[in-house]
Amino acid sequence: MFCYQCEEKAKGTGCTTRGVCGKDPDVAALQDLLVFQMKGIALYASKARELGAETPEADTLITEGLFATTTNVNFDPERLADLIRRAQDVKESTRRTYKETYRKKDGDQAPEIKEATAAAAQWKPGETIKDLVARGEKLGIKSEVFGPETEDTRALKELITYGLKGMAAYLHHARVLGYDDRKVYGFMHEALASLTTQQSVDDLVSLALKVGEVNLKVMEILDQAHNETFGSPEPSPVFLGAKKGPAILVSGHDLMDLYLLLKQTEGKGINIYTHGEMLPARAYPELKKFTHLAGNYGGAWQDQQKDFEAFPGAILVTTNCLQKPRDSYKNNIFTTGPVAWPEVRHIGPSKDFTPVIEKALEMKGFPEDLDGKTILTGFAHRAVMKVADKVIEAVKSGKIRHFFLIGGCDGRNPKRSYYTELAKAIPDDCVILTLACGKYRFNNLDFGTIGDLPRLMDIGQCNDAYSAVQIALALAKAFDCSVNDLPLSLVISWYEQKAVGILLSLLYLGIKDIRLGPSLPAFVSPNVLQVLVDTFGIKPISTVEEDLKAILGSDR
């Protein structure tokens, strides 16, 4: 196997024997085969769409397939094999759609698509998982199955692929709520199909920025979907302790899963706790109205083995990041949606959470109330806009000197303590905006207020990077300047491919001087990195002392 798609790549270069994430070589091969299948489907779907045909099956399969190959999502060979087989059917049906649409328009036989023929070739029905693994082993990142690559074109194609995976994850969440956009599918098909062709570095850089542009659109659609379905987030307290009684812990990003579970547990005497990226759910009116949404339990995803082991109830994981479940809680953890682990019970599309509820009741839960502090969440763009006058006044009067966006993913790299230290060292006249699971590095610290504005504002989940962009654009408008001229610095922590998508969106917006850590991606070649440095001023994080000095000047 070879995989270097996330920040934890082994030895800083890539995982070759087993993923640091827990992905074994068979799962890695199946994921490579699935990505290959997505490209095959995309080749036909993009041609069919050019001719005006709709390709709903391809749209769905590509969204689900890409999400399944994102870090810490699907570790189950059976489920991956199912997706690969379904993808083969969809590839065949999309090919038929292309051919029939062509014939109806031109009255002629549609020309074969060379790369697609290669991608579809030699497929035997009834292949076993072992056969699929053997096939996938020949299709890894370095296989050059679509022709030779240079170090730079491969780097850019992987950058594009990972951005598309992130986009697919956000699109999946919007689709669950009934929102999408056909133009987005069209772009995904075109982009994936183009990865099977030889392209120049310049063309691939443009395509990567286009991924950023479309990903921003997808995050906007998701923001609209969340707001229209669950109301707009409002600053809300989150209790970090626990209440006596049966309990269910819900992790991941899927707000609809949480809503359905809250509905199904109403009046049953079970308290529901958020975990990881589910914390900001507490700010949505249609979710916070449930009085048995009791609080948040535990920290970021990489602490889950410890947190889940200690949790005395059932656990539901709705999306990434899933880690290998320990035996101690294998009987009380459930997955749903895109996440899966072999032998962990999976709740299917019916979203009937009865097994989770029964397990929670069987386990009895917390024997007594647990004390805990209360923190705030819910500073999404609409909530911040409501206090925009105060914010602008505070900047004008010098009460707020600078804004720091310290956001992104958390992870195991010890260098991530930088983000805690940075948050602590930021002077009292500066505001810290945060989002995604990286916030757990400092979200239970007391940063006080500036006037009646809290110094730490939790914007939400990683997809709420869209909200952060809206806040920055509104500030830029108020001060009649560009985002780059604002007293705002972005210090981002990345881990998986959604963060890659977000980074491309920020670059598409022309946002410069982003500090990125804890380590740079292994898939970015030296030349591509130089392009990012020269064009966008991207820099790796340094020490807290040096970075603060560079941002605020020596008078800090």
Whether 382 and 459 have beta carbons less than 8 Å apart is answered as no
CA 97 distance to own-chain centroid: 32
Options 23, 47, 288, 439; binder of ligand SF4; rule CB under 6 A: 23
Binding mask 154-173 for ligand SF4 (x = CB under 6 A): --------------------
Q: What is the dihedral of CA 204, 208, 211, 213, to 10 degrees?
A: -120
Distances (CA, A) of 460 to 265, 355, 517: 25, 29, 20
Q: How many residues bind ligand FSO (CB under 6 A)?
A: 15
- Does the footprint of ligand SF4 cover residue 5 (CB under 6 A)? yes
Report the alpha-carbon distance of residue 520 to residue 397 in Å, rounded.
38
- Does the footprint of ligand FSO cover residue 360 (CB under 6 A)? no
Site for ligand FSO, residues 290 to 309, rule: CB under 6 A: 301
- Does the footprint of ligand SF4 cover residue 498 (CB under 6 A)? no
Least CB distance from residue 497 to ligand FSO, whole Å? 8
Whether 132 and 84 have beta carbons less than 8 Å apart is answered as yes
Phi-psi region at 187: left, alpha or beta (left = phi > 0; alpha = psi -120 to 50):
alpha
Options 320, 335, 377, 434; binder of ligand FSO; rule CB under 6 A: 320
Site for ligand FSO, residues 384 to 413, rule: CB under 6 A: 409
Binding part of the chain for ligand SF4, among 12-20, 325-333, 360-368, 483-491 by CB under 6 A, reads 12-20
Between 402 and 439, whose beta carbon lies closer to ligand FSO? 439
Amino acid at 443: N
Binding mask 30-69 for ligand SF4 (x = CB under 6 A): ----------------------------------------
Amino acid at 464: D
Report the alpha-carbon distance of residue 461 to residue 68 in Å, rounded.
19
Structure tokens at 180: 């999408």
Least CB distance from residue 439 to ligand FSO, whole Å? 9
- Does the footprint of ligand FSO cover residue 498 (CB under 6 A)? yes
Contacted entry of ligand FSO, ligand SF4, none for residue 5, CB cut-off 5 to 8 Å set by kind: ligand SF4
At which residue do the structure tokens 């996330």 appear? 6
Report the alpha-carbon distance of residue 401 to residue 454 in Å, rounded.
14
Residue 199 burial (CB < 10 Å; 0-12/13-18/19+)?
Answer: middle
Structure tokens at 323: 């880690």
- Does the footprint of ligand SF4 cover residue 20 (CB under 6 A)? yes
Binding site for ligand SF4 (CB under 6 A): 3-6, 8-10, 15, 19-21, 23, 71
Q: Binding residues for ligand FSO, per CB under 6 A? A: 72, 276-277, 301, 320-321, 409, 436-437, 461-462, 495-496, 498-499
